[in-house]
Amino acid sequence: MTRTPHSRLFGRLDGDIAGILLLAALLIVVLPLGLDIFRLNMVGKYLTYAFVALGLVLCWGSAGILSLGQGIFFGIGGYCMAMFLKLEASSPEATKIQSTPGIPDFMDWNQLKALPWFWEPFHSLTFATVAVVAVPALLAFIVGLAMFKRRVGGVYFAIITQAFAAILTILIVGQQGYTGGINGITDLRTLKGWDIRTDEAKLVLYFVNAALLIGCILLCLYVRRSKLGRILVALRDKEDRVRFSGYDVANFKIFVFCFAAALSAVGGAMFTLQVGFMSPSFVGIVPSIEMVIYCAVGGRLSLLGAVYGTLLVNWAKTMLSESFPELWLFAMGALFIGVVMVFPNGLAGLYQQFIAPRLGRLRPRTGGGAGAPIIPPHTAAD
Amino acid sequence: MSSDKIDADKLTGGLPSPLRRKLLLGMAALPAIGLLPRGALAQALPTDAVNTTKLAVTDSTVKVGILHSTTGTMAISETGSVQAEKLAIAQINEMGGVLGRKIEVIQEDGASDWPTFAEKARKLLVEDKVAAVFGCWTSASRKAVLPVFEQYNGMLYYPTFYEGLEQSKNVIYTGQEATQQILAGLDWVTKEKGAKTFFLIGSDYIWPRTSNKIARKHIEMHGQKVVGEEYFPLGHTQFNSVINKIKLTKPDVIYASVVGGSNVAFYKQLKAAGIDLNKQTLMTISVTEDEMLGIGGENIAGAYACMKYFQSLKNPNNEKFVAAFKKMWGGESVIGDVTQAGYLGPWLWKLTAEKAKSFDIDKIAAASAGIEFTGAPEGYVRIHENHHLWSKTRVGRARTDGQFDVVFETADLIEPNPFPKGYQ
Amino acid sequence: MFEGYSLAELGSIFAMQGFAGLILFSVFVLMALGLAIIFGQMGVINMAHGEFMILGAYVTYLCSNFISSTAPALFPAYFFIAMALAFLASGALGMLVEWAMIRFLYRRPLDTLLATWGLSLILQQIFRSVFGAREVGVVLPDWLMGSVAVTDTIEVPINGLFVMGLTIAITIVIYAVMFRSRWGQGVRAVMQNRVMAGAVGINTEKVDRYTFGLGCGIAGVAGSAFTMVGSTGPTSGQLYIVDTFLVVVFGGAQSLIGTIASAFTISQAQSTMEFFLSGSTAKVLTLLTVVVILMLRPQGLFVLKVRR
């Protein structure tokens, strides 16, 4: 039976759409009603990590590229947004007590007399928004080009991304005049005149964030279900055959890596808006690896799972660190080990194994897409 | 959510070291601390009068927050601050509390993670509505929570010596800022040792860079020379190359502001390279008794440190303080400069609340300037209008047993100057 | 920077700088050897390598306390005892970890990465709970402290010489074990073709376990040696991880010679740059150079077979 591209794409969507609608209901209706603004803001913060996890589902789960440096892109996106917001908060009247009014406070303390050239364009919101996505994608493109064209993959790639994360952290911390150093860029106040620190603003930002997240999930779903998505799965499983079939494997890998980078950057920008600052502590190795665990807990093949995984792990972290701070590290370590050994498909895998069959008796159900197929994602080629 | 009443077992909870679980046997026998304006302890102040902004104050209790890292890399340093703050609060409660109300502590863990600090700060101010917060250690954590305190109008007592360049109505800085710590020490080493050349070495982030900027200006203003200035990333562990550079340039004084794990590596490697600190003058602004534990007294003996407080200070306040601290937290405790500054926080808050006859943050902020604490283990401190402390600076010489011999003390209190003109 | 010094003085300085480079080289080799064995021979990424090192350091600390209180006469020699115990402790823990966790993950290197990261978190917290969050100071015997004057003007730190000697000794032992002993033959056979090695009667599971244990044991000895030059605290292991991995990957993961060559290159580059530039700049430049070279030649310096 011939299927038009459209019907193949959207034909088996009832399961996925149901899942996305459920998530949307949770994020947009249930949580805002059930939580006070303080906790809701925290959920908003967790959702920004979910962007990174989404990117990892595509690039790790689907394409088999494990990047341990997603913090780099999260950070760059966050810093771009922070630079715009900081410039807005550093108008000449607001900074008149400084020796050089009109520049951010940390530059003044470092005796900079003028705004560095690469800060100038960030006066414009348009530029900042474009930069949030473009700069990380460009960086990912360069790294991807160098690595994937030479067929570096797997473990080597992971370690090199770690090295990049370390380098970027050292650079940011050392160049405190230009970047705010280890303190990061703090004390962000308004976005085009709209105060982002008030409770109403946080509520609005939360909804914007949730909407963006749902939008990104749909986008990822589209990519996954398109021909491109199938090629990604194919090259994760048997890269050589894809190559022999005539596809340039490197280009696909570069694309998905850039895509994941852009997603992470969007998360970073939303983080800056909701939390009110950005610092190099999100750029380094440790946060990058933590972001991988969010994806892994959810089930590295499942887009929805990535979001739930992120929410669950972060919620557990807050709860445990409030009551049993020492227990939390044991729990996180155990989580890493458990996710790898016991439930490699994460929450989505558990769902597929235990819940989906029962639901299947209620209505005809087709799997795939946003839910994870129970295909072990690892092969000898890993 | 741990709302700790000051009970014997609860006070020792939440801290990582099982070796320090000693019961508070002698709480009732805590010695009186210096002279306090007892007249202001009005038991009969009604809650509506002292609390017009809906803080967590009842007729018999008032809630405060402690916000430090008990996990993560900063836990090493922040443990002492938590212990000191809890000791101060215990002693204040023994004496009847603040404005007749006992202090209840809500302790939160910043987990060495700045967004967590901001989050917990918001929780303490918005949900728990504490009347004061004693917390933070690194500048990064303070910078992360500062907007929260300013937005929700809280009061933070911040204990670490830092780079200055900050001033806020909502923060009292009980540690020294850079000019207080640095200038007096430099003057002393110039006079005592006839120092002409300096080699500055520090970790690569804002505090050492800003401190060295101030130090360099001061050195050059007096006609001396900086023969080297080097920075190493946080966590760097191999210093042999820069030690060779030091040997090459033969400075009169090595001026060190290395922190964290690098600190230990630096001093061990310095000693291994044959640099005898009894012959080569080394002055540091980043080593307290806490750091000596990791470095090992034998590796750093002979070096000079500039701090406002040393555990070995000989005055009646300090002797009582050290005894009380050891009784509560264990005989092997060491007490560094930041720990003592943490101890000052609750006391200063109590005195300010009594002067203002209120817990309202605006009134506390307004009443802070001029508050004197004569019971301070460092001797005497006074809050300046810029919310820093007038205090003396001292120079101590490190001993092999992990303590310092105080070799110099400024005659007068040094005025805090967080925005020093001419040094910027 | 070099004005005002006589040629002899400059010569001394450069000689001392050469020694500093050699010491850094020895440190890198010690750190990386254990990992190279595990990664190179078994394809397992051990992110908890730093924690195995710190376990060795803590064992040294306990030894130091124990011997100084019960048998002070032995104190000058305690360091050797401590290193032996560190080797055994880390090796034993390594074998336990291999049995409990790693042996299920041999075909999944990315997963071992995550699992061992989780292990490192758990170990860090155990250290924190048992020894306290603060760093501990390890007391060294007197003969290890200070420096020795090779000539009038050239002084070399004794512990640097010790580390160099230790590195040479361990390298020779590893070489002997890997390339001259029957067991080493077995290890190499398993690495090249696990199935055939099993078919000819080599107990692959045992070989794996002992190899992992050996790698971790060497890490323990390295950690023990590093108490002379660095700090010992629950999170100190993190300070070494990135450098160690880069050294191993740069050298070509399956070649021990590659590891040594890469340690030499990186250490010389870093120490030279540190001497002429500032510390942070040197570090960033070294990392960048290594990464760029890796991007150009991803197999590393020496390679036995192409890996993707």
Q: Where are the domains of chain C?
A: 13-237
Q: Which helix (H) or strand (E) holds B281?
A: strand B281-284
Q: Which helix (H) or strand (E) holds C286?
A: helix C279-296
A338-357 residues touching C, CB cutoff 8 A: 338-341, 344
Q: Are the Cβ atoms of B71 and A181 closer than 8 angstroms?
A: no
If you ran DSSP here, which 8-state letter would residue A55 be given? H
Show residues of chain A in contact with C111, CB under 8 Å.
340, 344, 378, 382
CA C90, CA B2: separation in Å to the nearest integer? Answer: 38
Nearest CB neighbour to B236, from listed C1, C13, C283: C283
CA B140, CA A86: separation in Å to the nearest integer? Answer: 17
Q: Within 10 Å of residue C258's Cβ, how many Cβ atoms?
A: 24
What's the pLDDT tens digit per position in C272-303?
A: 888 777 777 888 888 888 888 877 777 677 76
B239-298 residues touching A, CB cutoff 8 A: none
Instruction: From A288, A377, A367, select the one nearest A339 (Cα to Cα).
Output: A377
Q: Output C92 or C287, whichever has higher pLDDT.
A: C92
User: Does C308 touch chain B if contact means CB atoms closer than 8 Å?
Assistant: no
Cα A20 to Cα A32, A211, A347, C13, C167: the distances in Å are 17, 12, 16, 67, 57
Segments of chain A assigned E as strands: 190-191, 194-195
Cβ within 8 Å of residue A347, ≥6 positions away: A297, A298, A299, A302, A305, A308, A309, A312
Instruction: From A95, A87, A82, select the one nearest A120 (Cα to Cα).
Output: A87
User: Does A147 touch chain C if contact means CB atoms closer than 8 Å?
Assistant: yes
Q: What is the mean pLDDT of chain B?
A: 85
User: Which domains are delineated in chain B?
Assistant: 3-175+313-390 (3.40.50.2300), 178-307+394-409 (3.40.50.2300)
Q: Predicted confidence band at A367 (pLDDT cuts at 50, 70, 90)?
A: very low
Q: Are the Cβ atoms of A167 and C111 closer than 8 angstroms?
A: no
Nearest CB neighbour to A162, from listed C109, C242, C290: C242
**Min distance B17 CA to chain C CA atoms (Å):** 5
Site from B66, B143, B149, B171 to mutate, A interface, most A CB atoms within 10 angstroms: B143
CA B327, CA B337: separation in Å to the nearest integer? Answer: 19
Q: Output B315 or A352, whichever has higher pLDDT.
A: B315
Phi, psi angle pair for B370, to nearest 5°: 95, -10
Show residues of chain B in contact with C139, CB under 8 Å.
296, 298
User: Does B33 touch chain C if contact means CB atoms closer than 8 Å?
Assistant: no
Nearest CB neighbour to C275, from listed B229, B232, B245: B245
Q: Which of A69-83, A321-335, B376-390 has the lowest mean pLDDT?
A: A321-335
Q: Are the Cβ atoms of C157 and B274 closer than 8 angstroms?
A: yes
User: Does C122 touch chain A if contact means CB atoms closer than 8 Å?
Assistant: yes
User: How far is residue A143 CA from its own chain's centroid?
Assistant: 18
Q: Are the Cβ atoms of A378 and C108 closer than 8 angstroms?
A: yes
Q: How many residues does chain C have?
A: 308
Closest chain C CA to residue A380: C107
CA B104, CA B102: separation in Å to the nearest integer? Answer: 6
User: Does B235 touch chain A if contact means CB atoms closer than 8 Å?
Assistant: no
Task: Give the pLDDT of residue A108.
Answer: 78
Q: Are the Cβ atoms of A173 and B144 closer than 8 angstroms?
A: no
Strand partners, A278: A185
Query: Is-contact B179 B420, C-beta < 8 A?
Result: yes
Q: Are the Cβ atoms of A328 and B151 closer than 8 angstroms?
A: no
Q: Are the Cβ atoms of C157 and B230 closer than 8 angstroms?
A: no
Q: Are the Cβ atoms of A154 and C110 closer than 8 angstroms?
A: yes
What is the rounded average pLDDT of the residues B224-243? 86
Q: Predicted confidence band at B310 (pLDDT cuts at 50, 70, 90)?
A: very high
Tokens of A205: 């930002």
C246-275 residues touching A, CB cutoff 8 A: 246, 249
B360-419 residues touching C, CB cutoff 8 A: none
Site from A171, A341, A343, A379 to mutate, C interface, most C CB atoms within 10 angstroms: A341
Site from A103, A277, A324 to mutate, B interface, most B CB atoms within 10 angstroms: A277
What's the pLDDT tens digit per position in C204-218?
A: 888 889 989 999 999
3-class secondary structure, C299: coil
**Min distance C139 CA to chain B CA atoms (Å):** 7
For the whole model, what pTM was predicted? 0.82
What is the rounded average pLDDT of the residues C61-81? 82
Q: Are the Cβ atoms of B238 and C136 closer than 8 angstroms?
A: no
C195-254 residues touching A, CB cutoff 8 A: 241-242, 245-246, 249
Task: Give the pLDDT of residue B153.
Answer: 92
CA B136, CA B143: separation in Å to the nearest integer? Answer: 10
CA C197, CA B369: separation in Å to the nearest integer? Answer: 80
Q: Which of A118-127, A224-233, B31-40, C91-100 has the highest mean pLDDT?
A: C91-100
Start-end of H helices in B301-336: 316-329
User: Does A66 touch chain C if contact means CB atoms closer than 8 Å?
Assistant: yes
Show residues of chain A in contact with B123, CB under 8 Å.
38
Task: Give the pLDDT of residue C3.
Answer: 56
Phi, psi angle pair for B3, to nearest 5°: -95, 95
Query: pLDDT > 90: what percent of chain C?
Result: 17
Q: Within 10 Å of residue A115's Cβ, how many Cβ atoms?
A: 18
Query: Is-contact B123 B136, C-beta < 8 A?
Result: no
Cα B244 to Cα B238, C16, C147: the distances in Å are 12, 7, 13
CA C47, CA C111: separation in Å to the nearest integer? Answer: 11
CA C225, CA C160: separation in Å to the nearest integer? Answer: 10
Task: Give the pLDDT of residue A260.
Answer: 94
Q: Output B238 or A77, whichever has higher pLDDT.
A: A77
Query: pLDDT > 70: what percent of chain A?
Result: 90
Closest chain B CA to residue A168: B233
CA C248, CA C265: separation in Å to the nearest integer? Answer: 12
Indicate whether B100 pLDDT > 50: yes
What is the rounded average pLDDT of the residues A278-287? 87
Three-state SS sequence of C89-153:
HHHHHHHHHHHHCHHHCCCCHHHHHHHHHHHHHHHHHHHHHHHCCCCECCCCCHHHCCEEECCCC
A367, burial (CB in 10 Å: exposed 0-12, middle 13-18, buried 19+): middle
Nearest CB neighbour to A155, from listed C45, C241, C284: C45
C-alpha neighbours within 13 Å on the C-beta side of residue A51: 30
Phi, psi angle pair for A283, to nearest 5°: -95, -20
Query: Is-contact B124 B173, C-beta < 8 A?
Result: no
Task: Give the pLDDT of residue A13.
Answer: 58
User: Does A153 touch chain C if contact means CB atoms closer than 8 Å?
Assistant: yes
What is the rounded average pLDDT of the residues A235-262? 89
Tokens of A124: 């414009």
Nearest CB neighbour to A173, from listed B2, B108, B204: B204
Closest chain C CA to residue A295: C114
Q: Within 10 Å of residue B132's Cβ, how many Cβ atoms?
A: 29
Q: Within 10 Å of residue C2's Cβ, how many Cβ atoms?
A: 8
CA A312, CA A309: separation in Å to the nearest integer? Answer: 5
Q: Are the Cβ atoms of A174 and B204 closer than 8 angstroms?
A: yes
CA A35, CA A43: separation in Å to the nearest integer? Answer: 9
Query: Is-contact A187 A84, C-beta < 8 A?
Result: no
Cα B155 to Cα B81, B347, C5, C27: the distances in Å are 17, 14, 57, 48
Show residues of chain A in contact with B204, CB under 8 Å.
170, 173-174
CA A382, CA C308: separation in Å to the nearest integer? Answer: 9
B342-401 residues touching A, CB cutoff 8 A: none
Nearest CB neighbour to C160, from listed B19, B237, B272: B272
Q: Predicted confidence band at A296 (pLDDT cuts at 50, 70, 90)?
A: confident
**Min distance C135 CA to chain B CA atoms (Å):** 5
What's the pLDDT tens digit per position in A101-139?
A: 888 888 877 778 888 888 888 888 899 999 999 999 999
Query: Is-contact A306 A224, C-beta < 8 A?
Result: no
In this complex, how many residue pairs, one in chain A and one in chain B, have their CB atoms less than 8 Å apart?
A: 95
What is the rounded average pLDDT of the residues A318-338? 81
Indicate whether B365 pLDDT > 50: yes
CA B79, CA B70: separation in Å to the nearest integer? Answer: 7
Show residues of chain C in contact with B271, CB under 8 Å.
145-146
User: Does B226 touch chain A if contact means CB atoms closer than 8 Å?
Assistant: no
Query: Is-contact C79 C144, C-beta < 8 A?
Result: yes
Closest chain A CA to residue B142: A183
